[in-house]
Structure 1
Amino acid sequence: MYNVAIIQTPEESLRSHMANRRRWNIGVLLLLIIFAYVLVQFYWSTVRIRGLVTPLEAGDQDQTKRQIALISQELDNPFWRSVEQGALKAAGQYRMELQYMGPFRINAEEQMKLLEKAIASKMDGIILQGIGTEQDKALIEKANKLGIPVVTVDTDEPGSKRLAYVGTNNAYAGQEMGRLIAEDGPKEPSGVIGVLVGSKEAANQRLRLEGFQSVINTYKGLSIAEVRASNISRLQAAQQAELMLKEHPEIDYMVGFSSLDGIGMAEAVARVKPGGVTIFAFDDLEDTLTAINKKQIEASIVQQPSQMGYDAMSLLNQYFQGQTVSSKQYTPISVITDKEVPTP
């Protein structure tokens, strides 16, 4: 047998070398791409974990104090700032540290993300508004299993593992609104009513509306023309009230069940039917009180948000001290008219 040697020409050898080099470069490039992808995924995973595990407000926390998260419906809403002030007062009294947070605009998903973060941060207690979703209930149950008591304020979360509810008896508040209208006119009340709610989905708004309807339905002369949502916006309250007045010119009364509804309704009535509609509002924002003083709003049902915050913290303190905690603690409401509003 003879061994046959294959001899490449210089051109063939160069082409073979270049092909091998291209394959090498492609292989190295693929490895770099895979490495970069893994690195990026690792980075974002670290960021997400850090976002959940890192304390909500790192810095000068006093770790000897119990850390309480207060999750508001909307960060700078005057109602929730008042809840915060009451909670801060109690925090100082009971040697707790309060961390106040919330979405910039009303957003239930953001509220639940903050609840997740508070649980992951191992807060000692959580105060929040009941959202009324299965996810919210599941998160409250998760907190309960981890030994983190949850107190709902403003809106309850019935059927959940929350420790207690502190706030207005919303059904009763709605009934009080109905009685205000029934007592406004003659012995046999009559008139057509336009209604604004902050949200048709929010449990506290539904309860107020149901309580209101339960009273109005007992009077043959009273009827509700329409119920619209303002999305807790002064602008939208004015827009929805104006549309309602144009579509139902027979409206004699307008009622609002969230804090910005009264002001919006007053603006709409001034444009469409000045002096022809009696308005009943909710809460005691400064602009609402001014409108009552000017007789643009007849009266307003006033809650006690500061007391809600204080009482919620007090219940948590009782729980930490091993005391029995009432599952529901209603804060009072009152009715304010021009007699109670000082003249500027």
Structure 2
Amino acid sequence: MRWLPVWFCLFSQSLLAAEWFPYPVEADGRMRDYRPLPVADKPWRICALLPHGKDRYWWGVAWGLDQEANRLGVRLGIYEAGGYEHAAVQLEQFDHCVAEGANAFVVASINTYDLCHAAEVQTKAGRPVIDLVNRLDCPGISAHSRVDFADMARATLEYVVKRSAGRPIQVGWLPGPADAGWVQDAERGLREAMPGSAVTLAHGGYGPVDRSRQAQLVRELLKQHPQLDYLIGNAEAAAFAAQLVRNVGSQAQVLSFYATERVLEQIHEGQVLAAPTDSPVIQARVALDLAVRALQGEKVPQLISPKIEMLDVAALERFDLGRLMPPEGHWMIRQELPD
């Protein structure tokens, strides 16, 4: 039952017409309502670099960037590297944007370090670099629009601990690519949430977040640990595991530690138990607004994070899908930086 496209289509037109702000965020540790600029002072040229466009999570990020660029009246290029194994491609795309004379950069980085030198050169030259979603750990980054994935993983583990009512549980863990900052953060959050709990963790290993690799890791994890109570994974791992556990007779309940459209469908259908959302569309909109503010000489917060919300069947009834994904009929946006 593909309920999400029908549901989303019912209000997508009103969503497109409505303003997305004011929006509750945490800005440098303090809660506030975020209000973006009404319009940019000039048609700045901004490059956005994303790790890939293989799933609806990044489709939503690209859509949020594009929508905010149109609202602000700036010119936007959107590039995706093709996967977390293509760090060199993302660096080439950054260099391409520099050569094209971009005024600012919004970067969802493949890892925490490869772009640091290039980013530092640009920020010292007065061209802002905004860290989006994935954590780019470099000195001099102009601002960060992201949620700490440590908090995402912590919220997911706390959900299953509460659900298990203190009984000992065995939890499988499939985080994603080892070098990605968001994966390192998620693992930190999991480690911090473990002490004092009755959780035994079974680590399933690392790999790119494509279906074939994650399917392999899921199969191996369930083979090695057939008595899992819960399996927590990246969205691709969770989506595949939700289908596989029924076929192999596993009793494991599946969660993703971030939400995508596919994961929400599986939550609605009872295949996935729950997932937290980091509101990636909102992160994208905020990142672009921060880039424009920095270009126009404003002092901007160092870190802005939408509030994390845990989504299960009950929570989906009140959740605004426009925070997570594009409307029906919108796919991945890829476009060259306009002149």
1:152 lines up with 2:98 in the alignment:
no
AA of the residue aligned to 2:122? A
Match of 1:321 among 289, 296, 304: 296
Q: TM-score, normalised by structure 2?
A: 0.76
Q: Measured at CA, do residues 78 and 287 of structure 1 come closer, stay the same or move farther in structure 2, by a change above 3 Å?
A: closer
| 1:307–1:331 contact (8 Å) kept in structure 2 | yes
Structure 1 residue 184: Cα displacement: 1.1
| Residues in 2 aligned to 1:105 and 1:280: alpha-carbon distance in whole angstroms | 23
1:178 lines up with 2:157 in the alignment:
yes
Match of 1:299 among 274, 285, 298: 274
1:122 lines up with 2:101 in the alignment:
yes
Residue 41 of structure 1 aligns with which residue?
A: none
Residue 259 of structure 1 aligns with which residue?
A: 235
Computing the radius of gyration from Cα coordinates, the structure with the larger value is 1
AA of the residue aligned to 2:206? A
Q: Which runs of 5+ in 2 are unaligned?
A: 1-41, 318-339
1:231 lines up with 2:211 in the alignment:
no
Query: C-alpha offsets along residues 268-302 of structure 1, whole Å, 9 cap, x if unaligned?
Result: 2122234x111111333333222212222111111
Q: Measured at CA, do residues 244 and 227 of structure 1 come closer, stay the same or move farther in structure 2, by a change above 3 Å?
A: closer
Q: Which runs of 5+ in 1 are unaligned?
A: 1-63
| 1:83–1:305 contact (8 Å) kept in structure 2 | yes
Q: Which has the higher contact order (CA 8 A, sep 6+)?
A: 2
Residue 31 of structure 1 aligns with which residue?
A: none
Q: Measured at CA, do residues 241 and 139 of structure 1 come closer, stay the same or move farther in structure 2, by a change above 3 Å?
A: same
When the two structures are aligned, how many residues end up with a matched partner?
A: 275
Identity score, percent: 18
Q: Secondary structure at the match of 1:157?
A: coil
| 2:214–2:237 contact (8 Å) kept in structure 1 | yes
Residue 71 of structure 1 aligns with which residue?
A: 49
Structure 1 residue 309: Cα displacement: 1.1
Residue 140 of structure 1 aligns with which residue?
A: 119
| Residues in 2 aligned to 1:336 and 1:234: alpha-carbon distance in whole angstroms | 23
Q: By percentage of residues, which structure has more helix?
A: 1
| 1:239–1:268 contact (8 Å) kept in structure 2 | no
Q: TM-score, normalised by structure 1?
A: 0.75
| Residues in 2 aligned to 1:114 and 1:230: alpha-carbon distance in whole angstroms | 23
Structure 1 residue 109: Cα displacement: 0.9
| Residues in 2 aligned to 1:299 and 1:179: alpha-carbon distance in whole angstroms | 12
Q: Secondary structure at the match of 2:122?
A: helix
Residue 173 of structure 2 aligns with which residue?
A: 195
Query: C-alpha offsets along residues 249-277 of structure 1, whole Å, 9 cap, x if unaligned?
Result: 22111001x32221011122122234x11
AA of the residue aligned to 1:65? P
| Residues in 2 aligned to 1:160 and 1:271: alpha-carbon distance in whole angstroms | 48
Q: Measured at CA, do residues 297 and 150 of structure 1 come closer, stay the same or move farther in structure 2, by a change above 3 Å?
A: same
Structure 1 residue 235: Cα displacement: 2.8
Match of 2:222 among 213, 225, 245: 245
| Residues in 1 aligned to 2:295 and 2:143: alpha-carbon distance in whole angstroms | 14
| Residues in 2 aligned to 1:163 and 1:143: alpha-carbon distance in whole angstroms | 10
| Residues in 1 aligned to 2:301 and 2:241: alpha-carbon distance in whole angstroms | 38
| 2:123–2:140 contact (8 Å) kept in structure 1 | yes
Taking only aligned residues, the RMSD between alpha carbons, in angstroms, comes to 1.8
Q: Secondary structure at the match of 1:339?
A: helix
Residue 102 of structure 1 aligns with which residue?
A: 80
